[in-house]
Amino acid sequence: MRTLGCFLLLLFWVSQPQKSYTTPLPERTTPSAERTAEDPESGQGNEMERSRSKRSWMWNQFFLLEEYTGSDYQYVGKLHSDQDGGDGSLKYILSGDGAGDVFIINENTGDIQATKRLDREEKSSYVLRAQAVNKKTGRPVEPESEFVIKIHDINDNEPKFTKNVYTATVPEMSEVGTFVVQVSANDADDPTYGNSAKVVYSILQGQPYFSVESETGVIKTALSKMDRENKEQYQVVIQAKDMGGQMGGLSGTTTVNINLSDVNDNPPRFPQSTYQFRAPESSPVGSTIGRIKANDADEGVNAETEYKIIDGDEHNMFEIITDKETQEGVVIVKKLMDFERTRMYNLKVEAANVYDDPRFQYLGPFKDVATVKIIVEDVDEPPLFSKSAYVLEVKEDAKINTIIGTVTAQDPDAARSFVKYSVDRHTDMDRIFNIDSGNGSIFTSKPLDRESLLWHNITVIATEISNPKESSRVPVFIKVLDVNDNAPEFAMLYEIFVCENAKAEQIIHTVSAIDKDDSYSGLHFSYAVANPAVHGTNFTLRDNRDNTASIYTQRNGYSRHEMNTYLLPVVISDYGFPIQSSTGTLTIRVCACDHKGNMQSCTAEALSHPTGLSTGALIAILLCIIILLGHSRAVCCSKTTEKERAIACV
């Protein structure tokens, strides 16, 4: 209070800012300021008492209402020094914020006036200094003193929302009171003074679906069972009003766009109970027969539907998959259909939501069933052979026009069209086979020989008579079977001799045989001397049962002079059917040998017999031998067994 001893700041106080709207400010401030100036510390005014209790009282402050609209200067207050005797010797000087510009002072009286309309929201207080100076001496009579002019708020700002438009989403079917979004508005007026900045929210549009909490701006649902499928978007208008929402307060509004988000509260439902599709029996595996759709009013995952066949497909002929784009069930062929076997299928198909929401099960069931009828259509199919390939056998000695075997093919269609057969001539260039076009019997038309061609692999074609375009082909493997048409014979021409000094029961040679025919049990032949009673007296033959036979001496004492050549006819038989046999004659010469059995010399005459040469040839050979004997008898003997060589000698 001591600092204020020098200056008495003349204050005015307006405790009811509302009144300032209705009452011109200068008229009120001037008398009020004068009143307080006369008795500044008395606190006699009731208004002042109320104000004190409301706000901290500051003696070095002036208060001034913002937004003064009068044509005169607005009176602020009066400076007064207790050194001022009222004789006009002092003058008052003002300095600081806006001195001489916004605020002017009457230097004689100390009256301060505001020259401009002031905005609290622009500058809420001004700091100024006052001085009292002796006019004559120009010396201050008091130390300079500082004071503040505070601009008093009036409600000149409406609440402003932080956004022009809010957006929010809340699930459909939410319970009443579910939080949606919070809106908020700011008021630029002084929040510490009056209700100018006290904002209250209310809903102008959007009832009865939504409500707003007046204090907080929180928007909540106000109606239960709001259904997205019924109405999805709402536009809510919220008002914020200051002055605590009372009449005369300023207001601002905002729009809140609220979307309901989907929940699974709708089950899938087939719009019809039966669907019917037609499909040709030739529909390939994996092809689509038809599409069905169970409608679901929900969206996104809540509309996702899975289809399955629950009955009528015992043979697993079909499958149903979900088209993820359209949520349709696509019926697909899993196994080839056959019109001749089944002409219609009746499938029971179930559609069920993939994601169920347990909260809404009471709105279910969340699945549905429909019947899908598939009518199989007949397709003209080519004839079908009874086998995929035929293997036939024919004996090589089969007569021409013998039936080898029969192929059969049928039209699988219900029409059972007649079929005709033919041989693909590209596979039977030599026209060895023929087929009966009516019954599929295959004939030989030329003689066969297994030894020249074992397999005849041909193709037979079956064609529908009524529709030549429908034809099928089948391979026919014809194997020519062996017939035992060849007799076994000696494997070679044997040169056999017996030593004059040979003993009885001695092996002099071993022979074997061959056969051109197919031998089933390996090369097996039997050997026997023809007419053994006659021919078996000098030599015997033993079958070794390994396809060889050995020739034995029957006695000793063979002599060139007595008999220089023996002939041994041998019967060789195979075990085929019928048995084939031949007789080969072995020629055994009698030769002189050393004691080890090595041949020394033989009789020339023996050479003629096995080769069966003509008389002329024999004479030539004999001449040859005579000539050769002069040089080397042994060489000549060993070499002249060959016919050509013998002739060459001539």
Contact positions vs ligand NAG (CB under 6 A):
167, 169, 233, 259, 403, 406, 436, 439, 441, 455, 457, 477, 534-535, 537-538, 562-563, 566
Cβ 590 vs Cβ 565: under 8 Å? yes
Nearer to ligand NAG, 91 or 479 (CB): 479
Nearer to ligand NAG, 89 or 441 (CB): 441
- The whole-angstrom separation of Cα 491 and Cα 509 is 14
Residue number closest to ligand NAG, CB atom: 259
Nearer to ligand NAG, 329 or 610 (CB): 610
Closest contact distance (angstroms) between CB of 407 and ligand NAG is 10
Q: CA-based diameter of the chain, in Å?
A: 206
Query: Within 13 Å, how many C-alpha atoms sit on residue 483's CB side?
Result: 11
- The whole-angstrom separation of Cα 6 and Cα 81 is 6
Amino acid letter, 193: Y
Nearer to ligand NAG, 297 or 403 (CB): 403
- The whole-angstrom separation of Cα 646 and Cα 101 is 163
Q: Where are the alpha helices (DSSP H) in 448-595?
A: 532-535
State the DSSP code for 224. Answer: S
Closest contact distance (angstroms) between CB of 330 and ligand NAG is 29
Nearer to ligand NAG, 125 or 406 (CB): 406
Nearer to ligand NAG, 120 or 535 (CB): 535
Closest contact distance (angstroms) between CB of 104 and ligand NAG is 57
Nearer to ligand NAG, 68 or 566 (CB): 566
Nearer to ligand NAG, 410 or 441 (CB): 441
Q: Map tokens 């809903």 to a residue.
A: 203
Amino acid letter, 481: L
- The whole-angstrom separation of Cα 166 and Cα 183 is 8
Closest contact distance (angstroms) between CB of 439 and ligand NAG is 4
Does an H or E element contain 473, and which?
Answer: strand 471-481
Closest contact distance (angstroms) between CB of 518 and ligand NAG is 15
Nearer to ligand NAG, 247 or 429 (CB): 429
Closest contact distance (angstroms) between CB of 568 and ligand NAG is 8
Nearer to ligand NAG, 301 or 414 (CB): 301
Amino acid letter, 587: T
Nearer to ligand NAG, 571 or 622 (CB): 571
Which two three-digit tokens encode residue 588? Answer: 């055994």
Nearer to ligand NAG, 457 or 600 (CB): 457
Closest contact distance (angstroms) between CB of 587 and ligand NAG is 12
Nearer to ligand NAG, 155 or 565 (CB): 565
Closest contact distance (angstroms) between CB of 319 and ligand NAG is 36
CB atoms near residue 545 (< 10 Å): 11
In this structure, the strands spanning 61-65 and 145-152 are parallel
- The whole-angstrom separation of Cα 532 and Cα 458 is 52
- The whole-angstrom separation of Cα 438 and Cα 454 is 28
User: 397, 392, 574: which is closest to 482 by C-alpha?
Assistant: 397
Distance of CA 76 to the CA centre of its chain: 85
User: 187, 185, 48: which is closest to 120 by C-alpha?
Assistant: 187
Q: What is the DSSP string of 42-90?
A: T---HHHHHHHHHS---TTEEEEESS---SSPEEEEE--BTT--SSS-E
CB atoms near residue 436 (< 10 Å): 13
List Cα–Cα distances, 638 to 80, 240, 491, 629, 635, in angstroms.
177, 143, 20, 12, 5
Which two three-digit tokens encode residue 304? Answer: 């996702």
3-state secondary structure 242-289: CHHHCCCCCEEEEEEEEEEECCCCCCCECCCCEEEEEEECCCCCCCEE
Closest contact distance (angstroms) between CB of 538 and ligand NAG is 4
Closest contact distance (angstroms) between CB of 563 and ligand NAG is 4
Nearer to ligand NAG, 311 or 430 (CB): 430
In this structure, the strands spanning 455-464 and 471-481 are antiparallel
Closest contact distance (angstroms) between CB of 560 and ligand NAG is 11
Closest contact distance (angstroms) between CB of 500 and ligand NAG is 12
Closest contact distance (angstroms) between CB of 499 and ligand NAG is 15
List Cα–Cα distances, 556 to 494, 504, 561, 579, in angstroms.
22, 5, 14, 36
Closest contact distance (angstroms) between CB of 647 and ligand NAG is 29
